Structure 1
Amino acid sequence: MYNFQTRVMEDSDGYNSKSQKRYGKTSLLKRIPLHKLMDLKVDYAFKQFFGNEKNKDITVVFLNAILQRNDRNRIRDISFSNTEAGGEYVGDKQSRLDLLVITDSGERINVEIQFTNKYSMIKRSIYYWSGIYRNPLRKSMSYKELSPVISINMMNFNLFNQTELFHTSYHLYEDEEKFKLTDVMEFHFIEMPKLIKAWKVEKLNPWNDILARWLLMLGMVDHRNDEVYEDIYEELEEIAMKDETLRNAFRNWEELSMTHEEFLAYESRLKHIMDEESAQREAELRLKEETEKAIKRGLEQGLEQGLEKGLEKGLEQGLEQGLEQGLEQGKREGKKIGEENAKEAIARKLLDKGMTIESVAELTNVSESRIIEIQNDIEK
């Protein structure tokens, strides 16, 4: 269970020698030590920082770094857009985007930051993309008037096992000759643990890599694990002496973290996220335990059924061979029956506790149609 008790207004003018040695005051942070900065990987802090009109120039630099834009096609200005994304059907819940901007060339860029892995991130990203892409279309408009939409997903967990790259990008290409179908669709996925791993093995050079520079700033404070990467800070502090935008980013980050109301809201959001993560982990452990018990029960039932079938076949193929086949088939059927029964039993319990159908389906790996059937059965 997460317990976060730091208060930004404490010790603003000084702190004990141990903290000073560990976190230290520096020329960049004038009033608070490193560990009192908000973790910018928490969606509330990310949006308050990068979605703030005051920090628009910082956000422009940050987006250009992710999109690898050069001087010719770089973003020069943005406007912040409404972040409510309505559901497609009646009754769909509203989805709140973390950051949605419109560039000076008319592109729409949606930036989502996920602290925990509780969604089907790829499908979620495509779903959000589709809503943003079609939303501007009105009667009498032409499809040609629809603007490109870029989806950026920043994750505090690893998603792709196929690569060690912390930043991957995706477009639609022809399968054989690899030419691009369209420029209206673009996806970026950034996996922060891979970034930190690359830093630790000295594969990053933030002096020459602007994207690494900004992502390391986001990864520097890790409130989930109560850790601050002082080596990252020392490197960025030196770079900031020559990079005015990065220097301003640290100052505005410090100011945001010292605003009492903002920090309390951030703290509340972080606690909520960690509580959700803890509840999900407990549900997974319960599911595993119940599954193991049900598998054992199902295996016993399946073995009995398998023995009967094996004996029947044994009359034709020989007693010994029939028993062997029956046992094997019984094991397979028993395991399948046990897994299905256990998952549905857990699904029923989660629905009773008010969890959404989508969440229950994702957690138990039972189809949404079956979860709806179980829900209807509960409501009878």
Structure 2
Amino acid sequence: MKRLLRSKANFEILEGFLSELLGEDILVLDILESESNKERRSDKFNRVDLKVKNRKGEIIIIEVQFERELDYLQRMLYGTSRVITEHQKEGEAYAKLVKVISVNILYFDLGHGTDYIYHGTTSFTGTHDHDKLQLNISQQKQFGKSQINHIYPEYYLIRINNFNRMATTSLDEWIYFLKNEEIKDEFKAKGIQKAKQSFSLMSMPEEEQLAYARYQDDLRYEASLVESNYGLGRMEGKEEGRIEGKLEVANRLVEKGMSAEEAAAVAGIDAELLRH
């Protein structure tokens, strides 16, 4: 899963997962290297699996954790604090502090609760009147934020072991995949079918992965020849040739024992084409 999300060639997958989780259209600008990862490789509490920057300038850190850690909540706090200080320039005003979103994919039971996704934010509630403290107009203009919780780090806890139901929402489809390593043909979540294609490829034996890589190289070479020799105006039949080439690759994968659905996902074609 870490390898699938980390691939710079597959931003579409990471963007799809984050868009469904955060409920907004996420555009990933870059996958960043954490300074704490560089400085102290032996410090497991500093390390993050993935750190990305979105178009709003926010930093999203993603951790995939399999082993139980009783103090994982404190580790989350430490991780977001470290990222904030990494991105604070010397002498820069506090108003410029970067917003951090911490996404934690957990394969162990953390805390006590019945849900499988928990969202943590910061708010201030009046002791006597029980009202929520809000930003005034000047603060909203200065910070570029409409609410106080938009300033502070946000935390998402995805407790994979607690997901024990059918996928009924697009976000559920991603959680189902994270738990079962399976993506059904009918899943429609953003980026999920691209994830299916890439995951099927990663699951192939090394020999078949190399064969598919050679096929992709051949496609790129042929496309370059077409553009160089004939120009963009003389490419009749190119799309038909691409489909035939993909069908050929898919049929070879089926002959080697892969299911029609998996082979179609890897080749990037509709499984129905293989059945006819």
Please give the range of the TM-score, normalised by the shorter of the 2 chains.
Answer: 0.5 to 0.7
Structure 2: distance between partners of 1:80 and 1:119: 29
Partner deviation per Cα, 1:76-122 (whole Å, 9 max, x = no partner):
2331000342699x998363211110001100000111112135110
Q: Which residue of structure 1 aligns with residue 156 of structure 2?
A: 188
2:33 to 73, 82, 86: 82
Q: Report the Cα offset of residue 260 of structure 1.
A: 3.4
Q: 1:251 is paired with a residue of what secondary structure?
A: helix
Structure 1: distance between partners of 2:27 and 2:205: 29
Shifted more, 119-128 versus 171-180: the winner is 171-180
CA contact (8 A) 2:29 2:52 kept: yes
Structure 2: distance between partners of 1:245 and 1:92: 34
TM-score by length of 1: 0.45
Q: Report the Cα offset of residue 258 of structure 1.
A: 2.3
Unaligned runs of 5+ residues in structure 1 are 1-45, 222-232, 264-380
Q: 1:239 is paired with a residue of what secondary structure?
A: coil
1:212 to 159, 172, 183: 172
Distance 1:75 1:193, change over 3 A: same
1:250 to 172, 179, 196: 196
Identity rate, percent? 22
Partner deviation per Cα, 1:120-151 (whole Å, 9 max, x = no partner):
11000000000001111122322222220000
Q: Which residue of structure 1 aligns with residue 13 of structure 2?
A: 58
TM-score by length of 2: 0.61
2:3 to 26, 48, 57: 48
Q: Report the Cα offset of residue 47 of structure 1.
A: 2.1
Q: Which residue of structure 1 aligns with residue 116 of structure 2?
A: 166
Partner deviation per Cα, 1:260-282 (whole Å, 9 max, x = no partner):
39x9xxxxxxxxxxxxxxxxxxx
Structure 2 residue identity aligned to 1:101: V
Structure 2: distance between partners of 1:112 and 1:259: 27
| 1:86-165 equivalence runs, <5 A | 93=43, 95-161=46-112, 163-165=113-115
CA contact (8 A) 1:85 1:128 kept: no
Shifted more, 179-188 versus 148-157: the winner is 179-188
Q: Which residue of structure 1 aligns with residue 131 of structure 2?
A: 177
Structure 2: distance between partners of 1:100 and 1:81: 5
Structure 1: distance between partners of 2:43 and 2:194: 38
RMSD: 2.8
Distance 1:138 1:83, change over 3 A: closer
Please tell me whether Structure 1 or Structure 2 has the larger radius of gyration of its CA atoms. 1
| 1:1-380 equivalence runs, <5 A | 46-69=1-24, 74-85=25-36, 93=43, 95-161=46-112, 163-175=113-125, 176-179=130-133, 181-183=148-150, 184-195=152-163, 197=164, 199=165, 202=166, 204-205=167-168, 209-221=169-181, 233=182, 236-240=183-187, 245-258=191-204, 260=206
Richer in helix (by share) = 1
CA contact (8 A) 2:14 2:191 kept: no
Structure 1 residue identity aligned to 2:177: M
